[in-house]
Amino acid sequence: MTITNDCTRILSKLGVDAALYTGGTLHSFSPVTGERVAELPQHPTAEVQAAVARAADAFRIWRDVPAPRRGELVRLLGEELRAAKDDLGRLVSIEAGKSPSEGAGEVQEMIDICDFAVGLSRQLYGLTVATERPGHRMMETWHPLGVVGVISAFNFPVAVWSWNAALALVCGNPVVWKPSEKTPLTALASQAILDRALARFGDAPQGLSQVVIGGRETGEALVDDPRVALVSATGSTRMGRQVGPRVAVRFGRTILELGGNNAGIVCPSADLDMTLRAIAFGAMGTAGQRCTTMRRLFVHDSIYDALVPRLIKAYASVSIGNPLTTQALVGPLVDRAAFEAMQAALEQAQAAGGTVHGGARVAGAGPDAAYYVRPALVEMPSQTGPVLEETFAPILYVMRYTDLPAVIQEHNAVAAGLSSSIFTTDLRDAETFLSASGSDCGIANVNIGTSGAEIGGAFGGEKETGGGRESGSDAWKAYMRRATNTINYSRALPLAQGVVFDI
């Protein structure tokens, strides 16, 4: 079966109308073979606005549905996702080039966030606050916010939507989703799966969850629409720099989940066998196309020669190939532009004194139109040039260090602030890294890699990563508005701060 046929089989099995992915102008390619798998009609601005109008109507109904009942819809979504896990996981592999295990893992993440959100639907707690006035009570109430616009990146084509949608729905908000133009099919499939849950749920309003297809302009229509109360945008820092100010101008809210330049520090006491495996997955997994991919590694001088030659060996031997037909650990880059950006970064690294191991295109791993590369490990004399930026490809820049406080400073001396790791069995080193003067990232780990977060924690990063938080912990608060309520149950009217105003 060709990839296109496989794609069509899965889409029709999941109930996606063929009119949504045939005869249109947006061409979707599989990075696995480079072949064109679908031609999708795009949504012009007027249709995006119509979708937002439907969502705004849905909001007026959904906000008054009790939160635990809203949670029931998300519980049904979790059930439908369990039933569709193999199909949707395979579609993720086809459209994003992920290994079967990572494709299935992404759907598992969707299921996990549904479970989390169902529990949350009974826990949208507000505080009761001590008041200075007698006979008064003060409290906080959390209310639904409004339409949530989700803009997502190609590399987590479905999980990012579910992080947002599961929380938004239990919080009482409709969702309009603009997926990456590189991965529209998995979005249509996810919407079809949610449609099944909606049919079982019964009385949810029309327009509660919608997908709009297209590129940047389609996203801009969501960004600029004042009825979209929250824009949750995941993608490059370049995109966030455009989206953030545009939403701010109309005083809308944003959750920005942008690029990372994640690093690990390997201390003298590290368990090197475990560290090696953690770095291998963190830096080479998903062909280096995770926002949390490890891109920089600082290795203590005393263990550099014990670790780095072993890493270079792992880079030279890791299996690379078609994720649908082989057991390869590393699949393709998303497209030719990603390959070219990788080669350009390697050239710059070499010019800056780096020694490059690997990085070449792997002949025979796939057809000419697909881009399979050997991950690159680059030994750098210092943190300079391309090391300071995110190149969305499997390149790991390795540097030596001698002093922990100095290397933490260097670790923090990049613009992004998403994820970070320290490898050590020394409590002092670990706690220093996690302290106020340690890693400045939104995620700081000990003895695990930079990637592979669980949904229970708040996910996101600082600085040019955008500051947004999604997923677990109290990230739900971004999807709700907070009201402070003061209730006077006395017969007097004492004013705060002792102010007197007798008439």
**Nearest residue to 295 (alpha-carbon basis) of 347, 349, 242:** 349
243 binding ligand NAD? (CB under 6 A): yes
Q: How far is the CB of 185 from ligand NAD (least distance, A)?
A: 14
Q: Which is nearer to ligand NAD, 152 or 420 (CB)?
A: 152
467 binding ligand NAD? (CB under 6 A): no
Q: Which residue has the tokens 């977060």?
A: 453
Which residue among 260, 285, 331, 449 contacts ligand NAD (CB under 6 A)?
A: 260
Annotate 44-85 with DSSP letters as a single string: -HHHHHHHHHHHHHHHHHHTTS-HHHHHHHHHHHHHHHHHHH
Q: How far is the CB of 257 from ligand NAD (least distance, A)?
A: 3
Annotate 219-251 with DSSP letters as a single string: HHHHHH-TTEEEEEEES-HHHHHHHHHHHHHTT
Scanning 228-236, 301-309, 347-355, 471-479 for contacts with ligand NAD by CB under 6 A, the matching segment is: 228-236
CB atoms within 10 A of CB 181: 18
Let me know if 291 is a catalytic residue.
yes
Q: Which is nearer to ligand NAD, 8 or 391 (CB)?
A: 391
Strands 443-446 and 419-423, sheet pairing: parallel
Q: Considering 257, 379, 390, 464, which one is annotated as catalytic?
A: 257
Q: Which is nearer to ligand NAD, 242 or 447 (CB)?
A: 242
Q: Which is nearer to ligand NAD, 172 or 461 (CB)?
A: 461
**Nearest residue to 112 (alpha-carbon basis) of 468, 459, 456:** 456
Q: Name the 3-class secondary structure at 320.
A: strand
Which residue among 23, 119, 135, 215 contacts ligand NAD (CB under 6 A)?
A: 215
Q: Name the 3-class secondary structure at 14.
A: coil
420 binding ligand NAD? (CB under 6 A): no
Which residue among 84, 465, 476, 480 contacts ligand NAD (CB under 6 A)?
A: 465
CB atoms within 10 A of CB 88: 26
Burial class of residue 436, CB neighbours in 10 A (0-12, 13-18, 19+): exposed
How far apart CA 493 and CA 501 sit, in angstroms, is 10
257 binding ligand NAD? (CB under 6 A): yes
Q: Which is nearer to ligand NAD, 390 or 429 (CB)?
A: 390
Q: Under rule CB under 6 A, which residues in 275-294 are in contact with ligand NAD?
A: 291
Q: Which is nearer to ligand NAD, 295 or 357 (CB)?
A: 295
Q: Under rule CB under 6 A, which residues in 146-185 are in contact with ligand NAD?
A: 151-156, 178, 180-181
Let me know if 257 is a catalytic residue.
yes
Helices (H) and strands (E) in the chain, counts: 13, 21
How far apart CA 109 and CA 13 sit, in angstroms, is 22
Which residue among 124, 204, 239, 278 contacts ligand NAD (CB under 6 A)?
A: 239
Q: Which is nearer to ligand NAD, 42 or 236 (CB)?
A: 236
Q: In the beta sheet, which residues pair with residue 176?
A: 149, 210
Q: Which two tokens stand for residue 441?
A: 């990232």
Q: Considering 102, 291, 379, 390, which one is annotated as catalytic?
A: 291
Q: How far is the CB of 13 from ligand NAD (least distance, A)?
A: 26
Which residue among 216, 310, 477, 481 contacts ligand NAD (CB under 6 A)?
A: 216
418 binding ligand NAD? (CB under 6 A): yes
254 binding ligand NAD? (CB under 6 A): no
How far apart CA 484 and CA 139 sit, in angstroms, is 6
Q: How far is the CB of 453 from ligand NAD (least distance, A)?
A: 9
488 binding ligand NAD? (CB under 6 A): no
234 binding ligand NAD? (CB under 6 A): yes
223 binding ligand NAD? (CB under 6 A): yes
Q: How far is the CB of 353 from ligand NAD (least distance, A)?
A: 26
Q: Which two tokens stand for residue 58?
A: 């849905």
- The DSSP symbol for 494 reads P
Q: Which residues contact 440 (CB under 8 A, 6 or more apart)?
A: 412, 417, 462, 463
Which residue among 4, 236, 348, 425 contacts ligand NAD (CB under 6 A)?
A: 236
Q: Which residues contact 249 (CB under 8 A, 6 or more apart)?
A: none
Q: Which is nearer to ligand NAD, 144 or 394 (CB)?
A: 394
Count of residues near ligand NAD by CB under 6 A: 29
How far apart CA 89 and CA 104 sit, in angstroms, is 4
330 binding ligand NAD? (CB under 6 A): no
Q: Which ranges in 318-446 belong to alpha helices (H)?
A: 336-351, 404-412, 427-434
88 binding ligand NAD? (CB under 6 A): no
Q: Which is nearer to ligand NAD, 215 or 381 (CB)?
A: 215
Contact residues toward ligand NAD (CB under 6 A) are: 151-156, 178, 180-181, 215-216, 219-220, 223, 234-236, 239, 242-243, 257-260, 291, 390, 392, 418, 465
Catalytic (active-site) positions: 257, 291
